[in-house]
């Protein structure tokens, strides 16, 4: 039974790690910019995972010259552009909840790509699953509260959605050629290079590593040094969940994986509720249940959504 649903298990574990990381990121972002955090995440994850992979399976890191452009595209659009679009949306004043909803329209773009570009078969249940999951996320995020519209910010969030679709599709296609570890190494390496070009590394705010950061919420009596929280973000908030998610995508379809990925905002809200004592209303709880129903339908439809 476990072997049969290993892909789903990997994606759920990845979503759990990503969601908990959202709380840690919130704490750190009070002391540094989102772009710099994206930079240190990518570079730190690359170097750590590169060393591990080089020792364990260095052959999986090799790529033929003709594969390099594809891997560069994968790293820039599948990793860096997702973060960039997300940050642009927030920076332009678009509510975080709305940015997340737009970003998680990725399954729609994936299914449209499969149906109209690949000319592949898409199960009718997959459309139902996507619609339910999006509806559930709207309830969870309560996007109607504090709604504002900014064209540039909305386009940034939409760009993040398209980039996320690229990430799922290319992780599935490239997953047949190299290990999950090697794929994350390439993706994070290219993303780290991108951020280093945009933001020169020699100007990095190194004072963050010695800054004492309050843990807030239920743990407001405690603080942790910046280096420890950033280390957590790199290892347990980036490397570990990416390995699980890429491993899950390799075993399932991109469309099914992207719908299961919608679990992340729901879990993020739950962790914020537990850690930061942020309250959940009845409509948000209903939304969470609807998302779970959508994910269940998507998983049942996976055999027909290739």
d(CA 133, CA 293): 8
Give the CA distances from residue 200 to residues 25, 162, 193, 197, 204, in Å, rounded to whole numbers and listed in that order.
Answer: 22, 27, 10, 6, 7
pLDDT over threshold 50, residue 282: yes
Q: What percent of the chain shows pLDDT beyond 90?
A: 55
- pLDDT score of 22: 86
**Residue 148 pLDDT grade (very low, low, confident, very high; cuts 50, 70, 90):** low
Q: Which residue has the higher pLDDT, 5 or 278?
A: 5
The answer for residues whose C-beta is within 8 angstroms of residue 88's C-beta and 6 or more apart is 152, 153, 155, 156, 157, 159
What is the pTM assigned to this prediction? 0.89
**Size of the chain, expressed as the number of residues it contains:** 306
| 144: pLDDT strictly greater than 80 | no
Q: What is the pLDDT of residues 81-91, one digit of tens each?
A: 998 898 888 77
Going from the C-alpha of 123 to that of each of 119, 255, 291, 305, the distances in angstroms are 13, 11, 18, 6
Longest dimension (CA), the chain: 57
For 78-82, 151-155, 221-225, which range has the lowest pLDDT when averaged over its residues? 151-155
> Exposure of 121 by Cβ count < 10 A (0-12 exposed, 13-18 middle, 19+ buried)?
exposed
- The mean pLDDT of the chain is 89
In this prediction, residue 305 carries a pLDDT of: 43
Q: Taking the domains of the chain in order of start, what are their residue ranges?
A: 6-304
Q: Residue 57 forms beta bridges with which residues?
A: none
Q: Which residues contact 210 (CB under 8 A, 6 or more apart)?
A: 225, 226, 227
Best-predicted range by mean pLDDT (115-119, 146-150, 189-193, 296-300): 189-193
């Amino acid at each position: 039974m476990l072997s049969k649903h290993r892909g789903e298990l990997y994606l759920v574990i990845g979503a759990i790690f990503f969601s908990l990381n959202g709380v840690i990121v919130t704490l750190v972002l009070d002391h540094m910019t989102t772009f710099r955090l994206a930079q240190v995440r990518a570079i730190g994850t690359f170097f750590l995972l590169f060393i591990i992979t080089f020792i364990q399976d260095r052959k999986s890191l090799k790529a033929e010259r003709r594969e390099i452009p594809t891997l560069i595209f994968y790293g820039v659009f599948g990793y860096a552009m997702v973060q960039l679009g997300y940050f642009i949306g927030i920076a332009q004043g678009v509510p975080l909840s709305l940015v997340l909803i737009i970003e998680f329209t990725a399954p729609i773009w994936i299914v449209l790509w499969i149906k109209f570009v690949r000319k592949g078969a898409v199960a009718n249940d997959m459309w139902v699953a996507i619609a339910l999951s999006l509806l559930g996320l709207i309830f969870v995020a309560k996007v109607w509260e504090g709604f504002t519209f900014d064209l540039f910010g909305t386009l940034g969030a939409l760009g993040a959605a398209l980039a996320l679709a690229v990430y799922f599709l290319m992780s599935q296609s490239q997953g047949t050629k190299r290990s999950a570890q090697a794929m994350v190494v390439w993706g994070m390496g290219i993303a780290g290079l991108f951020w280093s070009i945009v933001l020169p590394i020699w100007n990095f705010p190194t004072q963050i590593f010695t800054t004492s950061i309050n843990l807030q919420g239920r743990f407001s009596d405690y603080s942790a040094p910046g280096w420890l929280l950033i280390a957590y973000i790199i290892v347990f908030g980036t490397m570990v969940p990416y390995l699980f998610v890429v491993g899950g995508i390799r075993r399932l379809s991109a469309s099914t994986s992207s719908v299961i990925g919608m679990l992340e905002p729901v879990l993020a809200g739950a962790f914020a509720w537990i850690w930061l004592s942020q309250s959940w209303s009845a409509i948000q709880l209903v939304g969470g249940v609807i998302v779970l129903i959508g994910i269940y339908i998507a998983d049942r439809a996976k055999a027909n959504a290739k």
